[in-house]
Amino acid sequence: MVLAVVLATALGSCHKDDDNNDEPDYVYTSSPSSTLVQSFALKADADVMESLDSVFFTIDPTRSVIYNADSLPVGTDVSALQVTMSFKSSISSAVFHVLDAENNSTDYSYTSTSSDKMDFRYGVKLTITSADEEHTQDYVVKVNVHQQEPDSIVWPASARRDLPGATATNLAVGTAHFNDLYWCLLHNNNGYFMSQAAAPIGPWTTQEVINVTADASSLAATSDALYLLDNGGNLMRSTDGNVWSEVDNGWKHILGGYEDRVLGLRYDNATSTYLYDEYPRRDGFEPTAIEQGFPVKGTSQFIVTENSWSIAPQAVMVGGVKADGSLNSATWGYDGTRWANISSTKNQLPALEAPTLFAYYTYSTNSSTLRTTKAVTWMVMGGRKSDGKLNTTTYVSKDQGITWAEGGNALAQGATMPAFYGAQAQVYTMTLGPNKAPARRISQATTSWECPYIFLFGGYNTKGQLYNNIWQGVLLRLTYKPLQ
């Protein structure tokens, strides 16, 4: 394997999630290239890890450090590893000084035929002596191992915030992304308060909304307006979040915004039937009866995406309560003209009321090549089951809701976050800068990179009480600084 010799001006940092990965005290030297390590690798050992010999090591001769910026998987045993090296020119000797748990050092002389297994857990220094024995250079050698699973989503309690405009008694919350701003409508014991911000982390600007009495959680956005459903079934529209006007009536439920239309349901008393409706209505559109099994309330948020197999954007929602009172387990999709159950007959979601749906990312790693592949992944969290208990399992779909699987412990919401239903999600991409996170590999120097974060607003406990929370989650891998 050919390994790069990387100059100090193009180096990334070691993973900050490793307990012993602080920058070492580098030994600076004026020695010429006669002591330069040209390549460094671990020898293959399937008992330690598949493709161990493919792990990339960065060599920094100026800072005198050799390390793998892509840390090895959690739990990898680095107590007995063999190495292989090459040098820029002939050398007199290469000696590893290996520390143990008591800080005692054992020396290992390296040759091209060396078979010594060394312990990289406590600290390793490599001393190179030039062929003429006039120059020496010391390198700190680190074999980094993740202390946390990089493909896990974390929800740190330290990142939790209060809902904007919150008081002691908060009843409902709705969120939307409209006009390049994030909107949060909170209903509490003092009234209705609309907040807006350029990002879910704030700062928020809050004002009281005085001309609506509505279900705050019904807040939805189209390309040109915000919509709400008031307590009388009237569809309300606003372009500034403050002044609302009635534009239609007889609605029962808002499903979500699709392009310049808001989609929802109305109820026909004459036929005792729920009907699809939209505002404004397309030319020739007439409300039509919903399909059997279509949920009439308690649905997830509405996600609109584009894909390679359709001309129009596709919208999807999950969960909800059907007209007969049972819960929905199907994924329902909308193609711009009609709704359909797009679920596979196998691998469906459990039946849930008010689950939280959002589109995010996961990665898979090929064990032979160590290459990782990024995939857009839809996730479902929370929701209330038919027995009233709350779901704490995260479900994932990589085919836009056709099939679902449990996300496993890495994607679970964790102990810091309470069980919930009815939380609303917004995914916001923040720009991270140097020294704020660990490292991944790319082909050129990087000083900043984009990292999407998940923000969960509100959510209810088993008693129907609203949490006064905005939770912030992120896939750890996405916080790692790209390698330079």
The phi, psi pair for 35, rounded to 5°, reads -115, 20
Residue 369 pLDDT? 66
The encoded tokens of residue 191 equal 């009234």
Domains of the chain: 8-142 (2.60.40.2340), 153-483 (2.120.10)
HSE value, Cβ hemisphere, 13 Å, CA-based, for 181: 17
Residue 28 pLDDT? 38
The phi, psi pair for 278, rounded to 5°, reads -155, 155
Does a cis peptide bond (omega within 30 degrees of 0) precede residue 203?
Answer: yes
Closest of 244, 174, 175, 164 to residue 210, by C-alpha = 244
Residue 88: burial class (beta carbons within 10 Å; 0-12, 13-18, 19+):
middle
Q: How far apart are CA 444 and CA 6, in angstroms?
A: 11
Q: How far apart are CA 77 and CA 119, in angstroms?
A: 9
**Residues 286-336: pLDDT tens digits?**
999 999 999 999 999 999 987 655 678 899 999 999 999 999 999 999 999
Residues of the chain below pLDDT 70: 1-33, 307-310, 367-370, 433-447, 481-484
Closest of 315, 362, 358 to residue 336, by C-alpha = 315
CA 398, distance to chain mean position in Å, is: 14
Residue 308 pLDDT? 57
The DSSP 8-state label assigned to residue 327 in this structure reads B
User: pTM above 0.85?
Assistant: no
**Residues 406-438: pLDDT tens digits?**
999 999 987 889 999 999 999 999 887 654 444
The DSSP element (H or E) to which 477 belongs, if any, is helix 476-479
Residue 404 pLDDT? 97
